[in-house]
Amino acid sequence: VSALSSAAGRQDPSIALARWTTHAEPSALQELLASASHPDVTSFALGLPAEELFPRDAYAAAVQEVLREDPRALQYGPPSSALREHVVELMRLRGVECRAEQVLLTAGAQQGVSLLSRLLLSPGASIITEEHVYPGFQQAVQPFEPVYRTVPTDRQSGLDVTAVEHVLRRERPAFIYASPEGHNPLSVSMARETRARLTALAAAYQVPIIEDDVYGFLGYGEAASPPMLALDPDFVLYVGSFSKILAPALRVGWLVVPPRLLRLLSVLKESTDIDTSTLSQRAVAAYLSTGSLPAHLTRLRHAYRDRRDTMLAAVARHFGTRASWRRPSHGVFVWLDFPDGLDTGAILPRALERERVAFLPSEIFSVPGGPRQRNGMRLNFSHCAPARIDDGIARLARLLDTPA
Ligand SMILES: Cc1ncc(COP(=O)(O)O)c(C=O)c1O
């Protein structure tokens, strides 16, 4: 009775939440999205694709076709076998031979990472990641309160495999999270040798790798190596997406995993969202059937390569020797390392208010218990109009010259 009366009296309206929420903070990315999307802000902050390059007409035609042909395009439905076959073809372009039975269609790479985390992680288990980690990954694993074992990233060759081996000698983490191309945020692509060594370690210690390859198809001409999945289909669990190559709003991505895991992942997937939008799946399949993707990808790569080069030229012009960076072969980011003592997080509010320019500070990518880099900066080049890139970088550089 007393519990009832206290509920009725609203003495204590607080609701008991799961333990992990006590150290959950709202995503800094989400908060920034609001101010950085203001039209007078030149934003290098988020990893958005260029809207003007979305294949809208071709996609509209694909949607019309699937809606006209079959009312079940709007129904619940099993995963599109046509789309799974298309994914097999796409993977071939990445140098991977796989079968449709290995392909789980997801609502984007984010869901792929999330489902794999749920499959592999017990609460409190350890995981191996780099010191800089895509925040969406951190959000996906957060409910499991994992213990991060971080390893450094070589700015040229990628994740430090020797450090990974050090961890594996001591314990058996649930998985290793790695990105082969255009790492978010560091924009490093893993050297062929690094991929081979990491894959061999995964098999030797029987620890799976979650291979997040969302930028794998956005390469700018330099010779690319196949993803780690090509080296080991048993211990590499591959995450792909149409977000960066078609459009994120379609919310279609895929996993390539051993068939026995696919069955378990399908159960998890169903519990999450029943199925990936039937309409989206079918429309993407219809779009791919027209054979338009290769030409679209060529256009996208050209446009992004130009933007990358414009940004690199601007960075060299305005930052000169005050920062160090590399030319990324893949992806949508340029990463800057500044000398110790410069705190990019402290600069960001002024950048937004005074110079109307946005970027992401390195601190956002650090993980619980891992080292926090304060003097790094992630700049996105895919979304900003090319004509605004130089001016935006000039304003950022000017900010470093002016006192707080
Ligand atoms: C490394 C990485 N993984 C996953 C995602 C999520 O992609 P999707 O839109 O396919 O869910 C992103 C998006 O920016 C990303 O950068």
- Model confidence pLDDT, tens digit, residues 140-152: 999 999 999 999 9
* Model confidence at 2: pLDDT above 60: no
Q: Ligand 1 mean position to 110 CA, how many Å?
A: 6
**Which residues neighbour 224 within 8 Å (Cβ) at sequence distance 6 or greater?**
181, 189, 216, 329, 330
Q: Which of 160, 123, 210 is nearest to 371 (CA)?
A: 160
pLDDT at 224: 79
Nearest CA to ligand 1 atom 2: 214
Q: Ligand 1 mean position to 9 CA, how many Å?
A: 45
* Model confidence at 211: pLDDT above 90: yes
For ligand 1, whether the C-beta of 109 sits within 6 Å is yes
Q: Are 142 and 289 in contact (CB under 8 A)?
A: no
Distance CA 15, CA 30 (A): 24
For ligand 1, whether the C-beta of 250 sits within 6 Å is no
Probe target for ligand 1 pocket from 138, 179, 190, 241, with the most ligand atoms within 8 Å of CB: 241
Residue-wise pLDDT tens digits, 7-38: 555 566 788 888 888 877 665 556 665 777 78
Question: Which residues, in sequence order, are bridge partners of residue 361?
Answer: 377
Nearest CA to ligand 1 atom 7: 109
More confident residue, 30 or 224: 224
Distance CA 357, CA 360 (A): 11
For ligand 1, whether the C-beta of 230 sits within 6 Å is no
Probe target for ligand 1 pocket from 110, 116, 239, with the most ligand atoms within 8 Å of CB: 110
pLDDT at 26: 64
Using a pLDDT cut of 70, give the percent of the chain over it. 94
Probe target for ligand 1 pocket from 184, 254, 255, with the most ligand atoms within 8 Å of CB: 184
User: What tokens were used for 294?
Assistant: 């290769």
320 pLDDT band, cuts 50/70/90, is very high
For ligand 1, whether the C-beta of 380 sits within 6 Å is no
Nearest CA to ligand 1 atom 14: 47
Q: Among the listed ranges 48-52, 87-91, 144-148, 352-356, which one has the minimum average pLDDT value?
A: 352-356
CA angle centred on 334, ends 154 and 320, rounded to 5°: 95
pLDDT at 107: 98
For ligand 1, whether the C-beta of 379 sits within 6 Å is no
* Model confidence at 5: pLDDT above 70: no
For ligand 1, whether the C-beta of 153 sits within 6 Å is no
**Which residues neighbour 87 within 8 Å (Cβ) at sequence distance 6 or greater?**
100, 103, 105, 240, 254, 256
Probe target for ligand 1 pocket from 243, 252, 254, 273, with the most ligand atoms within 8 Å of CB: 243
For ligand 1, whether the C-beta of 47 sits within 6 Å is yes
pLDDT at 1: 41
Q: How far apart are the first and last CA of the chain?
A: 59
Residue-wise pLDDT tens digits, 97-130: 999 999 999 999 999 999 999 999 998 899 999 9
pLDDT at 27: 59
Q: Are 47 and 248 in contact (CB under 8 A)?
A: no
Q: Ligand 1 mean position to 109 CA, how many Å?
A: 5
For ligand 1, whether the C-beta of 214 sits within 6 Å is yes
